[in-house]
Structure 1
């Protein structure tokens, strides 16, 4: 397992992260086994959100492990807040001071801990008042409830607006990225071309994060599109990609899941990769991509096999 310093923090983190969004698909004993499997593989970073099954994923995580101080000190806990589910199946985004403070307190209670190592703002609030975010962050930091702060699914100018007021460095941005869903990479390869992959949809977020020492946390590393299913093993729609992955998997004596995570890990932006599978074996296989020594030629071959043009 590769470990790295999370920039602008004192945290040494695994580059593979266990995502806990689907934890309640498991019962208590299965959840404990899965979390223990992650730790045995060297994962020390666990990603939560208060909205995951209405907070039940956070509660199950702590209950399954019978969370205690000794165990807590062996892991790095991150959670996300800012999404609210309202009656009638309505969703709003809320970065108000009161909501952020209440949401963090609720997450801490469910996780049975006094603090979060990292807190992310989940999805951009169109009605954000950054001064309120700054006030909430200052209270959370001063009280010891949150050590570091970041965002999720935000573009450069949204980050800049927050950073203008927030007195703490935003240290992470959680963004969707996979071999097939690679828009933040596409625009840098097809600059000034009349191609769909040249369209700047992410605001240049990859280069922004590298310039500002913000760690990208790649979510859905096996998805072919926005929650569109996995490309690993999809021979019908991605035959060339799977053929290349099969060949490289044999070369490195790993599985295609490791090739998928290894492709992201190979990028010099030094990203973390959030693996949300609840299957123990797939998690183990995914961890094998943590330090996979893909060559530059192999990285580009995988990229092109996914259907992208290299001009």
Structure 2
């Protein structure tokens, strides 16, 4: 699969990341088959979080991949921490304890990437910096990033954190594209022009932070998928037309739409279906034309001024 550099690091990563949030829905043999199918397609970047399945997803993945030192060196593992029951927590104590738990469940000595999951209103950047320094010095984490953060939140962290923040995981799909739309509709008196994220798309491009779109098939906030959904007839008709032209599935085109953007994004899948993960990975071979990209954008109801 085609690869990109993750942020400013020297880490080459596949352009499609395999999200493991739902892997606990699979039986043991199914999980083994799913992970192996991804690896067979060159998708060796797996995204986790300590809250997925209450930690169970990381354990299931480690068993499914038959974790060992030989296996580990072929994988790129990312996990996230900072969400607790009823609160967010970026304290030094919680970050360090979370990573220890993640490593134990994944049966590995280190993470390739650690992301801070959701912005903590009570964050003390000095504590985050101390935690990152300790994790880096101990070899437990090699690269760091954030998730769902705006530019000024990242800048606040960077005031004390010395490690490059290589990734920002953000909700983005064809139907959840405000970070694109607000830049297209500058100074227009319509809802699409409202900047809800501090121009995070441009900020990440300026600072070479890889955007990792999560829920690339969702509309709303986990309300469902837009593909083959009667609520989006025009969008699906356009996607299907483009899919037929390229000889691929509609799933492939939905991911290819994100990959066409010059920000060099790395979409995170959420499927546990083997054929769908293959279709997602196929998107790395498809480049949409400008006309195709804008055609899909407009068909989703996104306006051009």
- Report TM bin, short chain: over 0.9
Aligned-partner SS, 2:203? helix
Contact 2:82 2:88 in 1 (8 A): yes
Q: Is contact 1:50–1:58 with CA below 8 Å preserved after alignment?
A: yes
Aligned partner of 1:258 among 227, 247, 252:
252
Contact 1:265-1:291 within 8 A present in 2 as well: no
Q: Measure, in 2, the Cα distance between the counterparts of 1:172 and 1:144.
A: 19
Normalised TM-score (structure 2): 0.99
Q: Please name the residue that 1:279 is paired with.
A: 273
> What pairs with 1:152-171 in structure 2 (closer than 5 Å)?
152-171=147-166
Aligned pair count? 305
CA offset digits 1:259-301 (Å, max 9, x no partner) = 1000000000000010110111111111111231210111001
Q: Which moved more, 1:37-46 or 1:209-218?
A: 37-46
Q: Deviations over 1:64-94 (max 9, x none)?
A: 2220011111110000000112xxxxx2100
SS at match of 2:225: coil
Q: Paired residue for 2:138, among 113, 119, 143?
A: 143
Indicate the residue corresponding to 2:108 in structure 1. Answer: 113
User: In the alignment, which residue of structure 2 is the partner of 1:60?
Assistant: 60
Q: Unpaired runs of 5+ in structure 2?
A: none
The partner residue of 2:126 within 105, 127, 131 is: 131
Partner of 1:8: 8
Residue 238, structure 1, aligned to residue 225, structure 2: no
**C-alpha separation in 2, matches of 1:148 and 1:61:** 21
Large movers: runs of 4+ above 2 Å:
none
Q: 2:96 aligns with which of 88, 93, 101?
A: 101
In the alignment, which residue of structure 1 is the partner of 2:79? 79
Q: Contact 1:115–1:147 at 8 Å: present in 2 too?
A: yes
Cα distance in 2, alignment partners of residues 224 and 66 from structure 1: 35
**Of the candidates 168, 177, 185, which is equivalent to residue 173 of structure 1?**
168
| Secondary structure at 1:290 match in 2 | helix
Q: Secondary structure at the match of 1:254?
A: coil
Partner of 1:34: 34
- Structure 1 Cα separation of the partners of residues 288 and 144 of structure 2: 32
How many Å apart are 1:7 and its aligned residue?
2.6
Measure the CA separation in 2 of the matches of 1:125 and 1:293.
37
Shift of 1:213: 0.6
Q: Distance in 1 between matches of 2:65 and 2:142?
A: 23
| Structure 1 position 242, deviation (Å) | 0.6
Instruction: State the alpha-carbon separation in 1 of the partners of residues 30 and 104 from structure 2.
Output: 22
- Does the residue aligned with 1:288 lie in a helix, a strand or coil? helix
Alpha-carbon distance between aligned partners in 2 of 1:31 and 1:40, rounded to the nearest angstrom: 14
Q: Which residue of 1 aligns with 2:47?
A: 47
Is 2:193 the counterpart of 1:189? Answer: no
Distance 1:306 1:225 in 2: 13
Q: CA deviation at 1:63?
A: 1.1
Whether the 8 Å contact between 2:16 and 2:43 is mirrored in structure 1 is: yes
